[in-house]
Amino acid sequence: MSLQAILYTSSPPALQILDQLKLPHESVYVPIRTCEDAYDAIKRMVVRGAPAIAIVAALALAVELGSGGGPSSKDKESAGHARAYVHGQLDYLVQSRPTAVNLADAAGKLKAVVNAEAGSAETVVGRYVEAAEKMLVDDVKDNENIGRFGAEWILGNAKVGEGEVKGRVAVLTHCNTGSLATAGYGTALGIIRSLHSGSNLTHTYCTETRPYNQGSRLTAFELVHDKIPATLITDSMASSLMSLKSIAAVIVGADRVAANGDTANKIGTYQLAIVAKYHGAKFVVAAPTTSIDMKTASGKDIVIEHRPGKEVTNVGTVATAARGINVYNPSFDVTPKDLIDAIATEKGVAVKNAAGDFDLSRFF
Ligand code: MRU
């Protein structure tokens, strides 16, 4: 049984999420009954990971609408009121975390769905719930396709070191991009799953991913749970590891891919891309097309979320830094497209042309 970050049942809609702040020690599900619950859970990172955030927000509004709670009787009076309510709640949810584009993308698509529904308030709500539920189902299928395409690309393109067998690779990953960050299967971790199920994986190295430890708390948990051969390293060990062991590819997820391919992902991704280039390992971004933002021209235009200094000065509740020290805590960094070899999506793998440019418009 694979791990599930999001538990959802329809009729009546009910949503629970795995509290990722308690992992790996405790597996506790918490109910999400309103958009306020979802906003708070996303902001505090009870749920995190770009696709998971978008789906939880979308389903929270479905629950709110379907449970008879949420909208006042005025909002149920007419289709216009129902549409305005949906727009307002989505605009609110989008503000919870700024860097991952999936939530804004989902909100835009869901607004278009309710705008296109010409019937009563009830049918507007019905169409909304149906579309939000479809996002949950589609995400797993998309991740399986990312996994398949990404694994094929790595096997076809990664260098084969001396004494190594073609078709058997070791990889390094950063942050958590698995079942816990998505509706299931995962993106970068989906590629690793696909390599493993095809008997093409020799080993996975996962970084601790300071300051929030998504690697040691969540990715390591998933890898152990799914019995995928893996070793945890601290973020500072990546260069040393790659100088001593043959790593075919560094595989990471994305919070926002700009139109030119520059990619915002968990802080520490950029330095791994530099290390990968130096050691001749492929650097692969795994992302659903919902993470590609064609409206953002390049990485310079991506807003980077800064998080509380406590995430750096403390590990969990234990203070590890000198009291009074200043803290710099950007949650994400931007890897320039020049350092990225491939962007694996559910629609196929994008690589750069001879001029060094990605053409991501072909996916839309
Ligand atoms: O701050 P987080 O834990 O939400 O950051 C998550 C990441 O950076 C992931 O790599 C990204 O969201 C892709 S998840 C499939």
9-33 pLDDT tens trace: 998 899 999 999 999 999 999 999 9
Q: Give the model's confidence band at 77: pLDDT under 50 very low, under 70 low, under 90 confident, else very high.
A: confident
User: Rounded to two decimals, what is the model's pTM?
Assistant: 0.96
Paired with 330 in beta bridges are 306
Residue 59 vs residues 28, 98, 103, 112: alpha-carbon distances, Å: 19, 19, 12, 16
Residue 70 has what pLDDT?
56
Helix, coil or strand: residue 51: helix
Query: Is any ligand 1 atom within 6 A of the Cβ of residue 49?
Result: yes
Question: Among candidates 253, 225, 234, 204, which has minimal Cα distance to 48?
Answer: 253
pLDDT > 80? residue 5: yes
Residue 75 has what pLDDT?
56
DSSP-derived secondary structure for 157-172: HS---TTPPTT-EEEE
Question: Among candidates 103, 108, 156, which has minimal Cα distance to 288?
Answer: 103
pLDDT > 90? residue 66: no
Q: Give me the phi and psi of 2, to 5 degrees please.
A: -80, 160
Tens-digit pLDDT profile for residues 263-272: 999 999 999 9
**CA distance linking residue 91 with residue 136, whole number of Å:** 20
Question: Residue 282: which H helix or E strand, with range?
Answer: strand 282-286
* Catalytic annotation present for 255: yes
Residue where the block lists tokens 């710099």 = 328
Query: Is any ligand 1 atom within 6 A of the Cβ of residue 214?
Result: yes
Mean pLDDT score, 145-152: 98
| Best residue for ligand 1 mutational test, from 250, 255, 289 (most atoms within 8 Å of Cβ) | 255
Q: Give me the phi and psi of 231, to 5 degrees please.
A: -135, 135
Query: Is any ligand 1 atom within 6 A of the Cβ of residue 145?
Result: no
Query: Is any ligand 1 atom within 6 A of the Cβ of residue 251?
Result: no
* Sign of the CA dihedral with 341 first, then 236, 176, and 178 last: positive
Residue 12 has what pLDDT?
86
Residue % of the chain over a pLDDT of 70? 98
Question: Among candidates 333, 4, 346, 339, which has minimal Cα distance to 174?
Answer: 333
pLDDT > 60? residue 286: yes
Find the distance separating the first CA and the last CA of the chain, reported in whole Å. 34
Q: Which atom of ligand 1 is nearest to the CA of 178?
A: 15
Mean pLDDT score, 126-132: 96
Say which of 255, 262, 293, 341 is annotated catalytic. Answer: 255
Ligand 1 centroid–CA 50 distance in Å is 5
Query: Is any ligand 1 atom within 6 A of the Cβ of residue 51?
Result: yes
Q: Spell out the alpha helix ranges (H) of the chain.
A: 35-43, 50-66, 79-94, 102-116, 121-157, 188-197, 214, 220-225, 238-244, 269-279, 310-313
How big is the chain, counted in residues? 364
Q: Which atom of ligand 1 is nearest to the CA of 53?
A: 4
Question: Among candidates 290, 347, 364, which has minimal Cα distance to 144?
Answer: 347
Q: What is the dihedral of CA 116, 118, 121, 122, to 10 degrees?
A: -90
Q: Give all domains of the chain, ordered by start, each with its CATH number.
A: 6-138 (1.20.120.420), 146-363 (3.40.50.10470)
pLDDT > 70? residue 41: yes
Tokens representing 257 are 């891919």
Ligand 1 centroid–CA 265 distance in Å is 7
Residue 20: CB atoms within 10 A of its CB come to 25
Residue % of the chain over a pLDDT of 90? 92
Tens-digit pLDDT profile for residues 224-247: 999 999 999 999 999 999 999 999
Mean pLDDT score, 179-198: 98
Query: Is any ligand 1 atom within 6 A of the Cβ of residue 48?
Result: yes
Residue 316 has what pLDDT?
84
Mean pLDDT score, 334-340: 98
Q: Give the model's confidence band at 162: pLDDT under 50 very low, under 70 low, under 90 confident, else very high.
A: confident
* Residue with CA nearest ligand 1 atom 15: 177
Residue 253 vs residues 43, 196, 257, 270, 327: alpha-carbon distances, Å: 20, 18, 10, 12, 25
Residue 67 has what pLDDT?
79
Query: Is any ligand 1 atom within 6 A of the Cβ of residue 97?
Result: no
pLDDT > 80? residue 72: no
pLDDT > 70? residue 80: yes
Residue 163 has what pLDDT?
81
pLDDT > 70? residue 73: no
Ligand 1 centroid–CA 89 distance in Å is 23
Q: If you average pLDDT over every residue of the chain, what do you get?
A: 95
